[in-house]
Structure 1
Amino acid sequence: MEIQPVVVGTAGHIDHGKSTLVRALTGIDPDRLKEEKERGLTIDLGFANFELPDGRRVGIVDVPGHERFIRNMVAGATGIDLVVLVVAADDGVMPQTREHLAIMQLLGIQRGLVALTKIDAVDPELVELAEADVRELLAGTFLETAPIYPVSGVKGTGLDELRAALCELAAETATRRADGIFRMPVQRVFSKQGFGTVCTGIPVAGSARVGDVLEVQPGGKRCKVRAVHAYGREHGEARAGHSSALNLTDLSRDDVARGHVIATPGYFVAASMVAARIDLLADLPRPLRDRSRIRLHTGTADPTGEIVLLDAAELAPGGSALCQIRLDDPVVVAPGDRFVARLLSPEFTLGGGQILEESRHRLKAFKSFVLDELSATESSLDREEDLLATFLLRQHLETTSVEKAAAAIKRDRAETQDLLARLAERKLAVRAGRGGASWLHADTVESGLATIEGAVTRWFADHPQRLKAPLLEIRRAAGLEADVFSFLTEIAAERGSYELLPGGELAIAGRAVESDPVADGLHAQLLEAGLRPPTPAELGEGLGGEKGARALLDRLCDQGRAVRVAADVYVAKEAFDAARDAVVENCTRNGQLVIPELREKLDTTRKWLIPLLEHLDATGVTMRQGAFRVLRGR
C-alpha cells in the first residue's frame, strides 16, 4: 500500500454531520469510543482514510465540534494539510463554525473545501441561503475561493462530486519533508496485549523506521520502534504526513501521553518559556491585556500559562505583537511551529501565530535588542540558512558547535554542517576553536575584535611606558572566554594589528616608547646589583613609590633589558643571561645541578637563587628530577 503523505481534517459545529460525512466517504466510522456511539456525539479524535484514483491512500482526522472539546479539536488539527469545513444546511454558520475556521487559519492551513451537509433535510431555497451564509463567512480567509459542495451523508447526494474534488485536492497538495529529524506529536496512547505501548499521531517532520531509537519529550525516555502501522496495515516507516501508529519497546504506558513528542534523540528539550508572534482575531470583545492567563495549543500539547507582551502594553483586537509565553508545564516546539492561544476565563480563542524560540531567560518588554533579535528570527523562519545565521548572531561571542546549532534549528547534523559551510562561503560564519569545530557569526568576530582593541587601548593608556601587555589582563578587561579570546587575538595578529609574544604577552605593531634617562638609570642600578637586586619597594624612592618603580621595571622587561624572575625580583638581562649560562654549564659538567658550586660562582644567596631556578624551570631551561635539577630534554 502506497500512502500519499497528506492528511485531511474536518472542521465545523457540533451535529453538522462531520462524522457521518467521513463514514459516507470512506466506509470507516471515525467514532471509536462507546460513549460516542451511544450519544451520537464526537468527543475525541477519529481517524479514517480513503483511496485516490491511483491507489494511494490519504488519511482523515475527524475532530469534535462541541465547544467543550476544543482542546481535542486543536490537537487533531496538528499535522493536517487541508481541511473540509462542514456546515449543515439546516443550521447554517454557527459559533464553532467560525471558531474552527479561525483556528485553521491560525494554524497556517492554506487549502481546503466546504461540504454543505444535510441538504436532504431542508428545501432547496434554504440550501441557497446557507450557501450564501457560508460564502460571506469565508470572505478574507484562506477558503475565500474554495468550492462549496452541497451533499447528504445519509442519501449520498453529491458525495461523488465531493469525493472527486477531495481526491484532486489531496493529490495536488505539497507533501511535507521526510528528510531530516523525526518528530511526531502524540495524539493517542494505548497498550495492546502482546505488543506493548502504541503511540499514534501525525509526524510533522522526518521519518522513522523499525529499529530506530527515538526519544520521548518531556522526560528524555529512550525507546525503540518495534513496528509501524499506517491506515490499518503494517508499514515500513512512519514519515511526515502519514497518520501513523508506532509500537515502541522499552516504554511503558505511563511514560507518554497526549501532548508529548516522540523524536530523533538529541534535538528537542521541553521549554517552559517560548517567544512568539501572536496575531489576535479581529472580532474579540476586548483587548488582550499583558500577563493574561491563557491556554497555549501547539502540537498536541495545551498547557496553561501567562502571555507577556513585549512591544505593547495591551493588544487591540486584530492587532499583532511579539510576546513571551511563560508556561505552567513545558512544551516541545521548534522555530516556526504554529500555535493557538485561548483565554482561560472566559474561555474563547484569542488568536495565534508562530513560535520564534525556546527562551532560556525571561524577556523584558520594550527592550530594543530583544525586539530586534526576535524580529530577525521571525524574518528568517522560512529560510534555513538565514535562520542559522540569525541563531549564530544571537549567540554573540559564545562559540557554537555543529551539534548545538543543529538542535537550535531542528535540522540534522549533516544538513547543519552544509548550511554552516554555505554561510562561510557568504562570509557570514567563521570557524573558531581548535580544529574548526565551533563557529561564530562573522559580525560577532568583528565586534569581538573591536572589544579587544578597546581593552588594549585602555591598558596601554593606563601603562604609557609599557611596550607589552599581559594577555590575561587584556582578556579580563575584554570580558571574553579564553577560547574565544585566543581565537580573536590570533586573527588580530594575522591582520598585523598585534604581535603575540612568548610568555603570554601582546605588543601593538609599531608601538615605540621614547628613551627615558630615569629608566636608563634604573637599568644601571640593576646591572650594578647583579644577582642581588633591590626590590621594587626599595627602588621606589624618587620614582613615585613602588608602583612607579614597577612600571619602569616592566618597561625594561618589555625592552628586553631586564627579566622578571619572580613577583619582587627583577634582574638585568645581562646578569640573567650570565646566570642561565652558568646553570647550563654546571648541569652539563656534573650531569645535574650542584647548588653550592653554582651559588659560589654567581656570588649570590639562597634568597635570590631559588626564584631564579624556579623561573628557569618554568621557562623550560631546567626541570626537577627527583631531588635534583637537570637540563630539560637531557
Structure 2
Amino acid sequence: MAELFYTIGMAGHIDHGKTTLTKALTNIDTDRLKEEKERAISIELGYAPLKLDDESHVSIIDVPGHEKFIRQMIAGVAGIDLVLLVVAADEGVMPQTVEHLDILNLLGIHKGLIVVTKMDQVEDDMIELIEADIYEQVEGTFFEGSDLLFVDSLSKKGIPELKEKIKAYLKDVPMRDATGAFRLPIDQVFTVHGQGTVVRGTVYEGMVNEGDVLELLPQGRKVRSRQMQVHHEPQTSARAGQRVAINLGGISKHEMKRGDVLVSTQYYSTTDTIDISLDTVENLDHPLKQRGYIKLHLGTAEVYGKIVFFDRNELTDGKNVLCQLRLDSPVVTKRGDRFIVRRPTPAETIGGGEVIDPHGEKYKFGQATVDMLARKKEGTPSERIIDILKKEKGLKQYELLKEAAMDNDEGVLLLSKLEADEKVMKLGDYFLLTSVFDEMVELIREDLSEFHEAYPLREGKNKAEIRQSLTSYGKQLADLVIDVVTGGQDFVKNGQYIALSQFQPSFPKQWSKRMEQLEETLKKQGLEVAAYEEVAVDAGIPKDLQEELRHFLIRSDRAVELDEKLVMTKEAFDQGVKQLFEKTDTRFTLQDAKSVLGLSRKYLVPFMEHLDKLGLTKRDGNERVWQK
C-alpha cells in the first residue's frame, strides 16, 4: 500500500492539556524549552510523531495556547490536515479557545475532532452538560457535528479510542500534493555542532531530496539540501505533509529566520502586493480604516503592511471582502493560500481568507476594481489560465500553473484542451493565447510595412529592431514569434533581415529618376568610374540616401564595389573579367592586364585586388594565376 503523510494540530486554551495529550498519544514531551518547563506552558511549537499503522506517517503539532503566543499558534495550524480541539472538562470553552476556533475557520481547515481532557476530574453526571455546552460553542464552525471524545491523558483512559478515531478521520483527508513544486515555510532555524545550519518546517507542497539545490526566499539565495531527518530519523527525501529538518549547505543561521521559505528553484517568487478575499471575525472590536496598518500571518511568515479597500473606507465586518494587502516586506505565496490578518495595536484578530492573485497591481478605487477581483476569484480554471495569459502574455508551463494554483496533471489536461480549441498555443517552452500570437504577428506586419515604405532600398529590417516593437511581450516570446512567422508564407528572412514576402527592394518614388540617372552614369563610365560620392552628388542624391543606394546596387547585383571610392556596374565588371580571361595566359602580370584593359594603376590595382578577393585569381609574386 502507498505511504500516507499527515500533520495534526492541537489547538485550545492554555493549560487545557494539549501537551499532556500529545505525550499520551506519542510518548514524547513536546515542551522542550527550559522556560516552558518552568512556566508549564508551551511557548514554541512542539512536534511529535504519532504511530497509527505501517502506512500512515503522522506528525502532531502542539501549538501554544497562551494569548501572547498566538503567532506561533497561527504558524502551527497553517500546514495541518486535521485539528484536535482540546477542551478541559473542568473549565469548558474559554476565550482563547474561541479565538483559536476563529483562526482555524479563517484558515480554511475543514476537518476536526473535539477532545475533552481531564475527564477524571469531573463527575460522570456532568459529561452530558459539558458535551452540550461545547457543541453550542462550536455551532457554525467546521467542528459542528464533529465527534467528541472524552479522555484522561494521565490515566490513558480514552486514548486508544482517540487513536482509532484519528485513523478513521484521516482516511477521508486527501494527502497534500507531492507532485508539484517543493515549498517549505520555515518555522525553526538553529545550528547543530559539526553539521551547520538546520531548518525545520512542514512541507506544504512537492518533494525534496538529499542533494537538491533549493532557493531560499525572499533572499533569493541558492542552498543545497545536505541531510534530512523526519522526527529524528535520517531520510533521503521528504514530501508534502511531512515534518522535516534539513541541513543546509552554503548559508549560516544568521542569514535566515522563521518565515523564510525554501522552494524548488525558479518555481516561486516573492511579492509585496497581494489581492485577497477577506472574511472578518464576528463582533470585531474596532473598525479597520482604509490603509490601516495590519500584521499578516501567512504560513510561518509575519509581515506588517497596509490594507487597501476599493469599495469602502472602513471595515466593521464582512464576508468575501475583495481588497488588497500592500506589505512592508516581501512574502512567498500563490493563489489559494490561506492567511490571517491581525491588528498590531490593540492586538486583535481581524480576519482571514485566501489569496486571489499573489502579484496584485495598483488599482483605482471603485466598483470596477471590485468586479475585476470578483472575476479573478470566481473564474473557472480555463478562465484563470486565459486571464493570466492576457496579463503575462507568455509563460512557461510551470510558471503558468503556479500562477493559476493548479497541480501539474490537472493543468496539462486543461492546456491540451485549450490548445485543441485553438484558444491557447505553445511556442517552444512558452504558452500564449492564440489571440496574443495573432496580435503580435499583426504588429510585425505593420512594423515591416512602415519600414518598407520608409526604407524601400533596404532588403528588410533587422530582427533585433523588430523585437523592439514587441518589447511589452518579452524578449523570449518575441524571438519565438519572429522565428515562427519567418518560416511561413507571409514573411521572408535573409540572414539577419526580415521582410514581407511580397516586398521587393526598389528606388523610392521621389528619388527614382535621380537614382536611374546615377546608374546610367556608371554604365557610361564603364571601368573608369569616378568616385562614387562624386557621381551621387552630381545626380542630386541626398547625403542620407547615398550609402543606402550604394548597398542596394551591390546587394541586388547591379554594381560591384572595388574599394570604398570606386563602384562600377556589374555589367562593366563582368565584361572586363571576360576580356582579361580571354586575352591572357593562365599566369599573367599586372602589365599584361594593363595591355588588355588599357587602365591606369588607379583603376587597375583595385580591379585586380577585387579579382583576388573573389577567388578568380591568386597572386603569386609579381604574377597572378587564374583559379577558374
TM normalised by structure 2 equals 0.75
Q: Equivalences for 1:198-277 in 2 at 5 Å?
A: 198-219=198-219, 220-230=221-231, 232-235=232-235, 237-248=237-248, 252-268=252-268, 271=270, 273-277=272-276
Report the Cα offset of residue 41 of structure 1.
1.6
Query: Does structure 1 residue 450 correspond to structure 2 residue 448?
Result: no
Report the Cα offset of residue 239 of structure 1.
2.1
Query: Structure 2: how far apart are the matches of 1:373 and 1:602?
Result: 82
Structure 1 residue identity aligned to 2:435: D
Indicate how the Cα distance of structure 1 residues 402 and 147 shifts in structure 2: closer, same or farther if over 3 A, else same. Answer: closer
Indicate how the Cα distance of structure 1 residues 37 and 571 shifts in structure 2: closer, same or farther if over 3 A, else same. Answer: same
Partner of 1:506: 499
Query: Structure 2: how far apart are the matches of 1:345 and 1:583?
Result: 94
Indicate how the Cα distance of structure 1 residues 483 and 221 shifts in structure 2: closer, same or farther if over 3 A, else same. Answer: closer
- Number of equivalenced pairs: 610
Indicate how the Cα distance of structure 1 residues 276 and 129 shifts in structure 2: closer, same or farther if over 3 A, else same. Answer: farther
What is the CA deviation profile of residues 171-218 of structure 1, one whole-angstrom value per residue up to 9, with x for unaligned ones? 332112333443322233344456554433221223334455545444
Indicate how the Cα distance of structure 1 residues 487 and 17 shifts in structure 2: closer, same or farther if over 3 A, else same. Answer: closer
Query: Does structure 1 residue 395 correspond to structure 2 residue 396?
Result: no
Query: Does structure 1 residue 475 correspond to structure 2 residue 475?
Result: no
Query: Structure 1: how far apart are the matches of 2:128 and 2:415?
Result: 57
Is the contact between residue 290 and residue 308 of structure 1 (CA under 8 Å) also seen in structure 2? yes
Instruction: Say which of 363, 366, 372 aligns to 1:365.
Output: 363
Indicate how the Cα distance of structure 1 residues 51 and 373 shifts in structure 2: closer, same or farther if over 3 A, else same. Answer: same
Q: Equivalences for 1:60-209 in 2 at 5 Å?
A: 60-121=60-121, 128=128, 130-153=130-153, 158-193=158-193, 196-209=196-209
- CA RMSD in angstroms, aligned pairs only: 5.5
Query: Structure 1: how far apart are the matches of 2:246 and 2:551?
Result: 73
Structure 2 residue identity aligned to 1:281: T
Query: Structure 2: how far apart are the matches of 1:591 and 1:306?
Result: 88
Is the contact between residue 224 and residue 250 of structure 1 (CA under 8 Å) also seen in structure 2? no
Which has the larger Rg? 2
Query: Structure 1: how far apart are the matches of 2:590 and 2:95?
Result: 99
Query: Structure 2: how far apart are the matches of 1:342 and 1:86?
Result: 23
Report the Cα offset of residue 81 of structure 1.
0.4
Query: Structure 2: how far apart are the matches of 1:441 and 1:197?
Result: 45
Report the Cα offset of residue 63 of structure 1.
0.5
Is the contact between residue 4 and residue 171 of structure 1 (CA under 8 Å) also seen in structure 2? no
Partner of 1:279: 278
Query: Structure 1: how far apart are the matches of 2:216 and 2:499?
Result: 51
Is the contact between residue 12 and residue 18 of structure 1 (CA under 8 Å) also seen in structure 2? yes
Indicate how the Cα distance of structure 1 residues 159 and 337 shifts in structure 2: closer, same or farther if over 3 A, else same. Answer: same
Query: Structure 2: how far apart are the matches of 1:142 and 1:496?
Result: 62
Report the Cα offset of residue 447 of structure 1.
1.8
What is the CA deviation profile of residues 255-288 of structure 1, one whole-angstrom value per residue up to 9, with x for unaligned ones? 543223334445445x251423131315234554
Indicate how the Cα distance of structure 1 residues 149 and 561 shifts in structure 2: closer, same or farther if over 3 A, else same. Answer: same
Report the Cα offset of residue 298 of structure 1.
1.9
Query: Structure 2: how far apart are the matches of 1:252 and 1:537?
Result: 72
Is the contact between residue 558 and residue 571 of structure 2 (CA under 8 Å) also seen in structure 1? no
Instruction: Say which of 494, 497, 511 aligns to 2:490.
Output: 497
SS in 2 for 1:302: strand
Q: Any stretches of 5+ residues in structure 1 without a counterpart?
A: none
Report the Cα offset of residue 148 of structure 1.
2.8
Q: Equivalences for 1:350-429 in 2 at 5 Å?
A: 350-355=350-355, 359=359, 363-366=361-364, 392-396=389-393, 427=422
SS in 2 for 1:365: coil
Report the Cα offset of residue 133 of structure 1.
4.5
Instruction: Say which of 511, 519, 528 aligns to 1:526.
Output: 519
SS in 1 for 2:167: helix
Partner of 2:526: none
Is the contact between residue 10 and residue 61 of structure 1 (CA under 8 Å) also seen in structure 2? yes
What is the CA deviation profile of residues 442-488 of structure 1, one whole-angstrom value per residue up to 9, with x for unaligned ones? 3331221122233345456767x889653569727724477655543
Indicate how the Cα distance of structure 1 residues 258 and 585 shifts in structure 2: closer, same or farther if over 3 A, else same. Answer: farther
Structure 2 residue identity aligned to 1:523: E
Query: Structure 1: how far apart are the matches of 2:430 and 2:591?
Result: 49
Query: Structure 2: how far apart are the matches of 1:204 and 1:357?
Result: 19
Structure 2 residue identity aligned to 1:135: Y
SS in 1 for 2:301: coil
SS in 2 for 1:303: strand
Is the contact between residue 281 and residue 350 of structure 2 (CA under 8 Å) also seen in structure 1? no
TM normalised by structure 1 equals 0.75
Partner of 1:28: 28
Range with greater deviation from structure 2 (244-253 or 101-110)? 244-253
